[in-house]
Structure formats: C-alpha cells, structure tokens
Amino acid sequence: MPQHVSIQGFRGSFHEVAARQYFGAAPTLLPCATFGAVVAHVVNGTAEAGLMAMENSLAGSILPNYLLLERQAIRVTGEVYLPIHQHLLALPNTRLADVQAVHSHPMALRQCGDFLDRYPHWKLVETDDTGHSAQLLAENQSPGVAVVAGAQAAEQFGLSILVGSIHDDPHNYTRFLVLQRAETAVVDSRADKASLYFHAPHAPGSLAQVLIRVAAHGLNLSKLQSCPRPGQPWHYGFHADVEFEDLAQFNALLTDLEPVTEELRVLGAYRRGSMETAVAGALRAEPGNRPRAQAAPREGPGSLNSTSARLP
C-alpha cells in the first residue's frame, strides 16, 4: 500500500473521492493543480502512486492525459470507476436569480451542458478543479457566483446545493487510472485488462489488421483512442484497452501484433475496475454516511519494468 498518492485537484474534489475508494484512508493524498504535476510526482518518487482521470461517460476522453501516458516513465496498475453527481453550489441563502457566473473545471461544465444552456446570461468560468472552486467561493464569499461540484465539496466548505444533480444524464461516470513508476510497478498475476499504445503503417487497412487479430484471439477491445503523432501531421497513434481471461492469452495477442505495428508498447496490465463497487463506494462516501473505502488489490508477481510488448 503506498504511503503517498498524488491526485489532480484539492480537498472536496472527485479525485479525492476516487483515491479514497481505491486506496482507503491510510495514504496521504498530495494535491496537484495539473495532471502533469501528478505524473511528475510519481516519476520523481514524491508519491508512490498517482491517480489520473482519463475519460467521462458524458464529456469523453481527456486527450492530453493519453499523451502523458505514452511519454512518461509510468505504468498503469489499476483503474477506478466513480459515479459523478454534479450539483450547483452557492453560498447559503443564495437564490437562483442571484447567480451571474458559474465556476468549475471544464469537464464538469461539459457534463452539465443541458442545464447550463438554460441560463445563457450566466458567465461560465473554467477553473483547475471542482473542489478548489468550491473552496475559493467559501473563502471569498463571492455574491452572484455559483460552482459546479460534488456534494462532498458542499459539505466540506459549508455551501448550499442550489440545484442538485444537474448533469446531463444520471449514468455519469469518470474512469481514473492508477499510476506507478515504471521501475517499481508490478503486474498483478490476476490481471484481466491492459492498456496499450501502438501505431501502424500509414496505409489502407493497417488498423484493420490490428483489430482482426484482437478479435481472433478472443479479447474484448473496450477502448480505442486516436492521438496525433507530433511532427507527423495527420498521422495518429492509438491507445487501446483490451480485456482478456489471463496473461497467456494477452501475450499471444502481443506476439501476433508485432508484425503489423511499427511500435507496440504495454502501458500497464491490471485488474478491471468494478462498476458495482464504484456505486457502492460512492453511496458510502455520500455526506452523512460513514466512508469505508475499498482497499487496493494486492499485487502478484511480475515486473512491468520493460517497455517492450511482453508480460511475464
């Protein structure tokens, strides 16, 4: 169990909730203003692990974070799914008619587009974090300002929920990845999911050759994200998440992919996150309920020290 976990965001943020759900109450959380700082803490050893949001079921992928994965000496060792309930928070006794500006992280604002579109006169202000937005509102006592954040932020900073559950769809989830240094990360022997980065020849049918092999080996492709390749306009690399029965099945796929890719890297192999655990954990962590966080899975033997596409 790590002693220090780096997260993007501050007290009251969804990263804090997700970190407690996965790691429990023991680790010290190290708040960071940016995702780059989270990764830097892991790489330089300030934190033994980091937690980084990758995608939201409503707002989509956070593309810069995929570039961090492929460029830094880190490995993915786990994932967390967290139900996201966004609320419009304000100072006590604020009325909806008093609101002139709404502050929050851009991903949070995107998740609440339908609600916010009803009030075109509101000024939307992008910030670095939902929890930090709530904290600044409480500290500055800004009249006419509301924030989009979770119930945990309202509780921690003494704000009122002006309008609850303003996200576009009730099935609103964010997926977070657990990160560790490449030199010290290990593969759980029970791993049943992996994150890959690859690029194939810039030619007709090259991506299809990769997908055909994934299907032939019986793996489920749960995510495929294209990212630009710097210095090569309109050429793309791909981040893929695949689910499998065991590591032997996964390694067989890697062997078959090598002839049809120009670069192939394993960014991490880990156990799938549980949606059921996510919902239960979020309910326990709601204000008024006693938080009893899920501990991180115990690691099995195996090393992820190599950047080559092969696992033990």
**pLDDT greater than 50 at residue 304:** no
Separation of alpha carbons 133 and 33, rounded Å: 12
**283 falls in which pLDDT band (50, 70, 90)?**
low
pLDDT attached to residue 296? 38
CB 218 within 8 A of CB 249: yes
Q: What are phi and psi of 62, to 5 degrees?
A: -100, 90
pLDDT attached to residue 2? 94
Separation of alpha carbons 162 and 92, rounded Å: 9
What pTM was estimated for this model as a whole?
Answer: 0.85
pLDDT attached to residue 276? 72
Per-residue model confidence as pLDDT tens digits over 32-90: 999 999 999 999 999 999 999 999 999 999 999 999 999 889 999 999 999 999 999 99
Separation of alpha carbons 82 and 28, rounded Å: 20
Separation of alpha carbons 13 and 153, rounded Å: 7
**Residue that is written with structure tokens 């309109």 in the block:** 234
- Give the DSSP per-residue string, 155-217: HHHT-EEEE---SS-S--EEEEEEEEETTT-B--TT--EEEEEEE--SSTTHHHHHHHHHHHT
pLDDT attached to residue 310? 58
Domains and CATH numbers, the chain: 4-84+172-285 (3.40.190.10), 87-163 (3.40.190.10)
Per-residue model confidence as pLDDT tens digits over 219-253: 999 999 999 998 999 999 999 999 999 999 999 99
Per-residue model confidence as pLDDT tens digits over 132-186: 999 999 999 999 999 999 999 999 999 999 999 999 999 999 999 999 999 999 8
Q: DSSP letter at 259?
A: G
pLDDT attached to residue 275? 79
Mean pLDDT of all residues belonging to the chain: 90
